[in-house]
């Protein structure tokens, strides 16, 4: 059976225990560990948590978590551990949430909290093929009824793995420069850095970005670039200086118009979307396959069409609202691991405020999982 091992220690972490009077006029014990957040289950004991991100084989899932630890200290408490509270809003004129009292189901129980000191809280893929899981490690077990707290350390974790059906899909080619970006992101994210070389998947690499028609399943006359702006014929002039700037930095950069995409694509056959948004989506699929890295979508939803959608998070589908009160700001398109966030209709709101005549919302993204930078390019009203 395949396994992945990792160790977690809290020996060099600065720790602080103190008593504090809360809004309900009761005194509670608060515990803080340097650079570690506390559990956020409202009304449950607030205990420090360490999140560990591990890379595992792309076509493997965790079947079982095996672990050991040492109890380094047992404390008899004089007060209850402080219950986790709702986040305090930072907006102006927003009332602070009311104090949430300790959850009696937890605080009157003889069972330890948390029952699981190690558990998987997330599993996903970076660059479509690098499987990363997130473990939540809690270095405490609290016995509320007994008013006892155990401090834990020296965790030895062994993950038993099992096969999954994930399909490994790599670009047909990618530049060394772009791959180095992904390498740095992966190295920054995961904690078991020594395992990256064993489990990371990379496409064929080249020094210079070049597209060849036979790299695609279906030849297309539409151009591909490492850095691509998708906009309309009428707006492309405004992006010329940006493209020249990117070229001067050594990138293959250019503008692809929606008109050229519409003329050469019938839609996205993978998802059955055959309108204009589907045609753009099909182009992005091909762009990914030949190693395209960055895309800027220039124009509102009437210039660069969108489709309403939602995103998947731990099996649940949700929409994102950026607090601007407009449903067109809720949109995520997914092709394999391609995530595109389209923002466009702020134009209607801002022009009504007589601030701008035209607003073009442009989002710079990678064609993979991570949204790196966002830009608002605007032209002042004359």
- In sequence order, the β-bridge partners of residue 338 are 335
Residue 290 pLDDT > 70? yes
Report percent pLDDT > 70 for the chain.
77
* Domain locations along the chain: 3-167, 209-380
Predicted confidence (pLDDT) at residue 234 exceeds the cutoff of 50: yes
Region 196-223: mean pLDDT is 78
Question: Is there a contact between 371 and 311 (Cβ–Cβ < 8 Å)?
Answer: no
Does residue 338 or residue 52 have the better pLDDT?
52
Tell me, what's the pLDDT at 272?
A: 77
Give the model's pLDDT for residue 298.
85
List residues bridging with 377 in a β-sheet: 360
Q: Is the pLDDT of residue 162 over 60?
A: yes
CA distance 193 to 187: 6
Read off the pLDDT of residues 84-133 as tens digits, 9 standing for 90 and up: 998 877 666 777 788 999 999 999 999 999 999 999 999 988 888 899 99
**pLDDT above 80: residue 375:** no
- Choose from 97-111, 301-315, 359-373 the range with maximum mean pLDDT: 97-111
Query: Angle 63-111-23 (CA atoms, 0-180°, nearest 5)?
Result: 115
Backbone angles phi, psi at 376, to 5 degrees: -115, 115
Q: How far apart are CA 28 and CA 31, in angstroms?
A: 10
**pLDDT tops 90 at residue 367:** no
What is the pLDDT confidence band of residue 217, given thresholds at 50, 70 and 90? low
What is the pLDDT at residue 91? 67
Query: How big is the chain, counted in residues?
Result: 382
Q: What is the CATH number of domain 3-167?
A: 2.60.40.3800
d(CA 109, CA 88): 28
Look-up of token digits 């630890």: 69
pLDDT of residue 140: 94
* pTM higher than 0.85: no
Letter string b/e over residues 347-379, b meaning 16 or more CB atoms within 10 A of that residue's CB? beebeeeeebebbbbbbebbbbbeeeeeeeebe
CA trace torsion 345, 340, 371, 309 (10° rounding): 70
In whole numbers, what is the pLDDT of the chain averaged over residues?
78
**pLDDT for res 211:** 62
pLDDT at 70: 96
Cβ atoms of residues 113 and 149 within 8 Å: no
| pLDDT at position 308 | 55
41 to 132, 157, 172, 189: CA distances (angstroms): 24, 24, 44, 24
Q: Give 83-92's long-range contacts (Cβ < 8 A, gap of 24+).
A: 83/28, 83/42, 83/43, 83/44, 83/45, 83/46, 83/107, 84/38, 84/39, 84/40, 84/41, 84/42, 84/43, 84/44, 84/45, 84/46, 85/42, 85/46, 86/42
CA 328 to chain centre: 21
Model pLDDT, residue 215: 61
Question: What residue spans of 50-123 are helical by DSSP H?
Answer: 104-107
Tell me which of 149-163, 302-316, 368-382 is least confident: 368-382
């Amino acid at each position: 059976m395949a396994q992945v091992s990792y160790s977690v220690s809290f020996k060099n972490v600065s720790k602080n225990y103190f008593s504090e009077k809360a809004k309900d006029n009761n005194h509670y014990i608060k515990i803080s560990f340097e650079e570690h957040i506390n559990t956020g289950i409202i009304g449950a004991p607030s205990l420090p948590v360490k999140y560990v991100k591990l890379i595992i084989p792309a076509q493997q899932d965790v079947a079982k978590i095996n672990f050991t630890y040492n109890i380094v200290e047992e404390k008899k408490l004089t007060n209850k551990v402080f219950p986790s509270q709702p986040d305090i809003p930072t907006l102006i004129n927003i009332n602070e949430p009311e104090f949430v009292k300790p959850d009696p189901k937890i605080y009157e129980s003889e069972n330890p909290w948390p029952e699981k000191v190690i558990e998987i809280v997330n599993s996903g893929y970076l660059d479509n093929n690098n499987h990363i899981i997130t473990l939540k490690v809690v270095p405490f077990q609290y016995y509320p009824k007994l008013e006892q707290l155990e401090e834990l350390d020296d965790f030895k974790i062994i993950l038993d793995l099992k096969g999954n059906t994930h399909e490994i899909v790599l670009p047909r080619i990618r530049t060394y420069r772009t791959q180095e970006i992904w390498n740095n992101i992966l190295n920054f994210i995961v904690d078991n850095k020594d395992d990256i070389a064993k489990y990371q998947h990379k496409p064929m690499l080249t020094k210079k970005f070049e597209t060849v028609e036979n790299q695609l399943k279906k030849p297309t006359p539409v151009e591909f670039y490492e850095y691509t702006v998708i906009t309309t014929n009428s707006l492309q002039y405004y992006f010329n200086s940006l493209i020249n700037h990117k070229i001067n930095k050594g990138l293959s950069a250019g503008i692809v118009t929606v008109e050229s995409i519409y003329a050469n694509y019938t839609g996205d056959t993978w998802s059955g979307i055959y309108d204009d948004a589907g045609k753009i989506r099909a182009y992005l699929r091909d762009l990914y396959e030949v190693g395209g890295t960055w895309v800027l979508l220039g124009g509102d939803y009437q210039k660069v069409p969108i489709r309403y959608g939602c995103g998947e998070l731990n099996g649940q589908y949700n929409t994102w609202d950026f607090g601007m009160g407009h449903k067109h700001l809720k949109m995520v398109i997914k092709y394999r691991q391609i995530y595109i966030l389209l923002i466009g209709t702020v134009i209607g709101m801002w022009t009504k405020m007589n601030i701008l005549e035209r607003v073009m919302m442009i989002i710079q993204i990678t064609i993979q999982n991570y949204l790196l930078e966002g830009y608002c390019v605007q032209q002042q009203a004359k």
